A and B are shown apart, each in its own frame.
Chain A
Amino acid sequence: MSDNQPAKHAAGDGHGSTPSGKPHHKASQAEEDTAAVVSVDTAGGAMEPSAVPATAQSGQLPGGPDTVLRRIFTGSGMVSLLAVLLALIIGGLLIASTDARVATTSTYFFARPTDFLSALWDAATRSYVALFQGSVFNPRGNSVAAQFAPFMETLTIATPLITAGLGVALAFRAGLFNIGAQGQIIVAGILAAWVGFALHLPFGLHLLLVLVAGIVGGALWGGLVGVLKARTGAHEVILTIMFNYIALYFLRYLLNTPAFQRPGESNPISPILDPTAVYPQIFGTQYRLHLGFILAIGATFLVWWLLNRSTIGFEFRAVGANPKAAQTAGINVSRSTILVMAMAGALAGMSGVAQVAGTEKVLTDGVAATYGFDAITVALLGRSTPWGTFAAGLLFGAFRAGAVQMQIQTGTPIDIVLVVQSLIVLFIAAPPLVRAVFGLNPRRKKPARPAKSRQAATTGGAA
C-alpha cells in the first residue's frame, strides 16, 4: 500500500499540472475519467462488464460509508429536502385529482377559486397526515400504547423487507444480481411452515427448528443457483427468475395436496402453525411486532461484520469488483459465488420465517407477498450497504403501514397511494433527477463553438 502512495501522488500531480482552459484538454480528461470507471469494471477490457458496475458495488471504498441516511444528512441535504418536497407536491396533486370535492369545486374555479384551492390543499395534506399517523405516531389513539401502534406496525412490516433486502444487497456486493429472493422466501416458508404445523415439539425447540428449516430452505434454494452459476456459467438472473417460478408453482401444487391442507377442507391454505412454533410478540400481544425484528437487527449487524471485518466478506467484495483479478490473487471465485448465494438465500429465508412464524402463521400461495421484489428496491435504495438497507427497509415498511390509513381516512385509492409512494422513492433514490428538475446540476461543458467558449472563458466558465 505504501509503495503505491507515491505513484498515486505522481498521477495526481500530473493531472494538476495539465494546462487547463483549452477545451480539448478538458474533454480528454473527462474521457480519462470514464475510461478509469470502465477499466475498473472490466479489468481494462479483459472481461465483460459485471452486472453491477464495480464503482456502484463498493459504496464503502472512498469517503466512508455511503448510506441513504448519510446522503440525506451530510452530502446534499438540500437536494434530499427538495426531493421530498417535489414528491409531496406531485403526489399531492395526484391525490387531489382523485378527490371528489376537488372535482366539484374545480367546476366553478373562476367564480370562487379559493374553494378549489382549499379543497386541493385539504385533500393532499389529509393524505399525508394519514400516512404519518398510520406509520409513525397516531395522536388520536386512546392510550399511549395505541398511539405508538403505527410505529410498531412499521417495524413489523419492515422485518421481512430488511432481511430479504440484505440477501439481495449481499449478492450485489459480490457482483451478482439476485432476483431470486421471492423464490427463496417461498421455499423457506414451505419448510418452516411444514415444521411448524406438522411436527409437535416443546416450546423453544420447535421455534428453533422452524427457524433452522427456513434458513436452510432459503440457503439451499439460493445456493443451488450459486452452484449452477459456478459450475456451468449460467447467468444468475435467468436462474433466479426461473427458480422463483419453480418455487411458486411447486407451492401451489403442495397446497392442493391433503398434506398441506386443513383436515376436512379443500381450500389451498395450510393448517395454522402450532403456538410453540411462532415468534413471541416482543412488546405484548397488542402489537404484531415479533422476535423476527430483533433477528433482523442481528442479521444486519452480521452482514456488516461479514462484509467489513471478515476475510470471506473481503473475498466477496473482491470477486464483485473484479472476478478475474480476484482469481489471480488466489481467491476461489466458484466457492465465493456458491457461498454468497447460499448466504443471500439464508437471509431471504429469514423473511420466509418472519412471514409464516411471525405475522401470517399459515402457508398460502401469497406467503411471499411482493417482498422478494421489493427487496431489490430496498437493497438498491440502501446502496447495497447493510445499514443503508436497514434504513430503506424501515422507510418501505412505513409506507406500507401508512397506506392502510391513507386509504381508510381519506378514501384515496390504494393504487394512487402506491403511485405516490413510488414517486417519493424515485426522487429520494435519484438525486441527479431532482437536481436536474431544480436546475442544480453542475453545468456540463457542451462541445461549444469556439466563439462561445472564448466568451465562457472570459466570464469565468462554469457557474
Chain B
Amino acid sequence: MSSLRAHLKRGSVAGLATVGATALVLAGCGAPPEAGSGPTAGASDYTGCIVSDSGGFDDQSFNQSSYEGLKKAEADLGIKVNQVESKTNNDFEPNLRAMVTAGCDLTLTIGFLLGDATKKQAEANPDSHFAIVDYSYNPPISNVKPIIYDTAQAAFLAGYLAAGTTKTGTVATFGGIKLPTVTIFMDGYADGIKYYNEQKGKDVKLLGWNKEAQDGSFTGDFEKQDVGKQLTQNFLDQGADIVMPVAGPVGKGAGSALKEAKAAGKDVKLIWVDSDGYLTAPDYKDIMLSSVMKTMGEAVEAVVKDDTEGKFSNEPYVGTLANEGVQLAPFHDLDSQVPADLKAELEQIEKDIIDGKLKVESAASPKA
C-alpha cells in the first residue's frame, strides 16, 4: 500500500516533469519568434559598448553615470548598446576582448583599473575606438579618448559653502579608498574651507582630511555603509555638522547617521558627490545641502555623438566648471538656509575659477 503510494507520488512528479518538458519542447517547435520584434529602433548600425569595473552598473557612482549616458545615447541617437559587467579584476581583459570581437565601434571602460586592459586592446585593434573614464595615458594612445575631471574646482565651491553654512565651525569629509579620484574631492573641499577662513578671518575646522599630509579618514572600500555611519557619528561627536562622504554607496551610511542626529534635534547637513544626491539619494532630501557633481552621463553621450559623426579624437575631455563637466548642485529644499550673500560669493568664486583668477590645485588634478 505504502509502496503503491510511493509509486503514485513518484509517477506524478515524473509525469509533471514530462508535461512541463513537453510543453517546452512543443513551444520550441511552435511559432518562430517574430522578426524585428526587438526593442532597438534600428536607426543606426553604430554599436556603443561599455565594460564596468567591479562596482557594476548599479554602483551609484561612475559606472552608473557612464552607463546612463550610454543608454541616453541609445535613446537619442538610435545606436545599439552592448554592455558587460565585471565582477573581479580578472574579468576586465576577457570582457573587453569579447566587446571588440562583438563588433563594437566605441568601447567605454570605467576607471584606472581598466587602464592596462584598455591599452592592450586598443593597441591590438587600432581601427576600434575606445574611451576611458577617470584615467588618462602618458603618452596618449591614438584611439583612446580619456574622460577626466578637474573635480577640485566644484569641491572648492562645496568647501566654501560648507564653511559659510556651518553652525558649529567644524565640518568633515571622508573617503572610500585613497584614490586620486577620491582625494581630489577632499583637496578641493579643504581649499574651499581654507579660502573662506582667509577671506572672512574665521577658523572653520575640517575633520577627516589633511591636504598637506595627503592623509585622512577612509572606510577602506565602497561597500560597507556601517563603517561610513560610524565615521560620521565620530565626526558628529567631535562637533561637525556638515559631512561630505566621497565613497559612493557608503555615503548612505553617512546619510543615515546624519538623519538620526537630525531626529535627535541636531542641525546637520550632508553634501553628496558624483551626482545630484537630491535626485539620486532622495532618502536624504531633508538634509541634502548640495552635491559636487561630475556630469559623466553628458560627457559620455557627447563622446559617442562625436564618434557617430566621425569626429573622434584622442584629445582628453577634461570636465571643469567652465564646460559644466563639474558643478555644484542646486540647494533644493535647503535653499532658504543658504544666505543670499553667500550665494553671491559662490557665484563670484565660480566666475573667478573659470577666468583663472582663482587657481584650485590638487595633487590629483588632471595634468593636461
Contacts and interface: CB of A to CB of B under 8 A. Distances in A.
Contacts of B312: none
Nearest to A120: B27
Interface stretch (A50-58, A306-314, A359-367): A359-367
Interface in A227-283: 249, 252, 256, 264, 266-269, 272
Which residue among B21, B28, B99 has the maximum number of chain A CB atoms within 10 Å of its CB? B28
Contacts of A414: 56, 84-85, 87
Interface stretch (B31-39, B66-74, B160-168): B31-39
B105 to A, nearest CB: 15
Contacts of A157: 90, 94
Interface residues of A, number: 55
Interface residue SS majority, chain A? helix
Contact of B95 (A364, A404, A413): A404
Given A414-B56, A418-B87, A114 B177 contact: no
Contacts of B344: none
B342 interface: no
Interface string B71-103: 000000000001111011111011100110010
Contact of B112 (A114, A115, A267): A267
Interface in B93-120: 93-95, 98-99, 102, 112-113, 115-116
A463 B116 CA distance: 63
Nearest to B27: A117
Contact of B20 (A89, A361, A369, A455): A89
Nearest to B215: A256
B149 to A, nearest CB: 15
B118 to A, nearest CB: 13
B6 A463 contact: yes
A301 interface: no
Contact of A438 (B10, B32, B37): B10
B179 A268 contact: yes
B207 interface: no
B224 interface: no
A89 B178 CA distance: 45
B33 A118 contact: yes
A401 B39 CA distance: 28
A269 B113 contact: yes
A66 interface: no
A68 B201 CA distance: 75
Nearest to A443: B6
B285 to A, nearest CB: 29
A16 B26 CA distance: 53
A264 B138 contact: yes
Q: How large is the interface on B (under 10, 10 to 19, 20 to 34, 35 or more residues)?
A: 35 or more
B251 to A, nearest CB: 20
A359 B88 contact: no
A6 interface: no
A122 B33 contact: yes
Contacts, number: 118
Contact of A288 (B23, B56, B93, B113): B93
B31 A115 contact: yes
A452 interface: yes
A101 interface: yes
A459 B82 CA distance: 63
B216 interface: no
Contacts of A439: 6, 9-10, 13
Which residue among A120, A268, A360, A414 has the maximum number of chain B CB atoms within 10 Å of its CB? A414
Interface string A82-104: 00000001000000000011000
Contacts of B56: 414
Contact of A101 (B37, B89, B94, B95): B37
Contacts of A438: 10, 13-14, 17
Interface in A104-152: 114-115, 117-122, 125, 134
Contacts of A120: 24, 27
Nearest to B12: A439
Contacts of A117: 23-24, 26-27, 30
Contacts of A34: none
B364 interface: yes
B355 to A, nearest CB: 29
B1 interface: yes
A452 B2 contact: yes
Interface in A445-463: 452, 455-456, 459-460, 463
Interface string B134-169: 010010000000000000000000000000000000
A332 interface: no
Contacts of A364: 89, 113
A359 B27 contact: no
Contacts of B89: 360, 364, 366-367, 369
A36 interface: no
A362 B21 CA distance: 48
Contact of A405 (B14, B98, B116): B98
A90 to B, nearest CB: 11
Contacts of B178: 256, 268
A269 B89 CA distance: 12
Contact of B33 (A119, A153, A369, A408): A119
Given A119-B33, A361-B116, A411-B83, 6 more contacts: A89-B20, A117-B23, A269-B115, A401-B94, A407-B83, A463-B3
17 contacts: A101-B33, A114-B30, A117-B24, A119-B33, A249-B220, A256-B178, A268-B179, A366-B54, A367-B89, A370-B87, A404-B84, A407-B84, A408-B98, A414-B56, A437-B13, A438-B17, A439-B10
Interface of B: 1-3, 6-7, 9-10, 13-14, 17, 20-21, 23-24, 26-28, 30-33, 37, 39, 54, 56, 82-85, 87-91, 93-95, 98-99, 102, 112-113, 115-116, 135, 138, 177-180, 220, 363-364
Interface of A: 89, 100-101, 114-115, 117-122, 125, 134, 153, 157, 249, 252, 256, 264, 266-269, 272, 288, 355, 359-362, 364, 366-367, 369-370, 401, 404-405, 407-408, 411, 413-414, 418, 437-440, 443, 452, 455-456, 459-460, 463
